[in-house]
Amino acid sequence: MKNIVKIALISSAACLALVACAKKQQPQTDPAAEAAPAAAAQDSASAAMTQAQADSLAAEQARLEAERLEAERARLEALINQIMSEDVYFDFDRSELTEKAKELLAQVGELLLKEKRFTITIEGHTDARGTEDYNFTLGAKRAMKVKEFLAAYGIENSRMESVSYGKEAPKAQGETEEAYSQNRRANFRVNIKQ
């Protein structure tokens, strides 16, 4: 739920930024349109034509821009969703990355290499067993292992933050091994660098 809100915020911020750019472009075309009447003031009809053409051109440009923006927003959203869905799982009281985890992380690494504006927060979690205190240290170790892997993949450390939630934010409820294994994980939050 929180993630959805975040995506909505990010995408609306991106929209705003692009709309702002589109607006800035308009004054650039305006001086040309105004210069034309000054040069050939007698041919007001053709000037009006030019004006209308310029207007429709600008409108067309804005529409294309909006479409491009929407496509970009959808692409980013898909990427963010993909990264946020890539939970990495661990064995009990372990912080080593499994082969499966490494495969997933390689995909995340690829995405981050392509999309330089993304910064991520890596959250380390544990299952419900054990003390709060030790589980904080275990979550921190897990988040760090993920960070180290991505750093080795070529992601700048400045784009990554790691934080431990210990056993405080379980994904699955219950005292079954199934729930435990779902909760021994690291997951990602994505932000877009301004």
Partner 1 sequence: MRENLKRFVWGLVLALACVFPQGVLASIDTIAVDVGISVFKTTPIGIVPFEEKPGIDWIEERPHQILTRDANLSGRFDVVASEKFNLALFSRSKAKHYMTGKVEPTADGRLAVDCYLYVSQSKTLLLGERYTVPQKELRRAMHAFFDKVIYQLWGERGVASTRIAYVSKIDGVKQVVVSDYDGFHRSQITRDSTISMMPVWTRGNKGLVYVNFKTNRPRLYTKNFGRPEKPLFEQFDQTYSPAVNPVNGELLFSSSKDGKTDLYIGNMETGKARKFAYLKSNQTSPAWSPYATEVLFTSDRGGGPQIFVMGKDGSDLRRVTFMGRYNERASWSPEGDRIAYTSMDNGKMNIYTCALDGSDIVQLTNNAGNNEHPTWSPDGKLIAFSSNRSGTYQIYIMRKDGSNVTRITQAGENTSPTWSWFYDENKPQPKEGSK
Binding positions for partner 1, rule: CB under 8 A = 93, 95, 121, 129-134, 136-137, 140-141, 143-145, 147-148, 162-166, 168
Choose among 150, 153, 47, 135: nearest CA to 94. 135
Choose among 33, 73, 24, 31: nearest CA to 54. 33
Q: Residue 180, class by beta-carbon neighbours within 10 Å (0-12 exposed, 13-18 middle, 19+ buried)?
A: middle
- Smallest distance from partner 1 to CB 144, Å: 2
Q: Which is nearer to partner 1, 19 or 151 (CB)?
A: 151
Q: Which is nearer to partner 1, 89 or 180 (CB)?
A: 180
Cα angle at 129 between 167 and 93, to 5 degrees? 85
Looking at residue 53, what DSSP letter applies?
Answer: H
- Smallest distance from partner 1 to CB 143, Å: 7
- Smallest distance from partner 1 to CB 91, Å: 13
What order of strands is seen across the sheet that includes strand 160-166? 88-89, 185-192, 118-125, 160-166
Q: What single-letter amino acid sits at 152?
A: A
Q: Which is nearer to partner 1, 109 or 166 (CB)?
A: 166
Q: Which is nearer to partner 1, 47 or 139 (CB)?
A: 139
Choose among 130, 123, 121: nearest CA to 180. 130
- Smallest distance from partner 1 to CB 147, Å: 7
- Smallest distance from partner 1 to CB 129, Å: 6
Q: Which is nearer to partner 1, 46 or 134 (CB)?
A: 134
Q: Which is nearer to partner 1, 63 or 94 (CB)?
A: 94
- Smallest distance from partner 1 to CB 29, Å: 45
Helix 99-114 and helix 44-85, axial crossing angle in degrees, nearest 10: 160
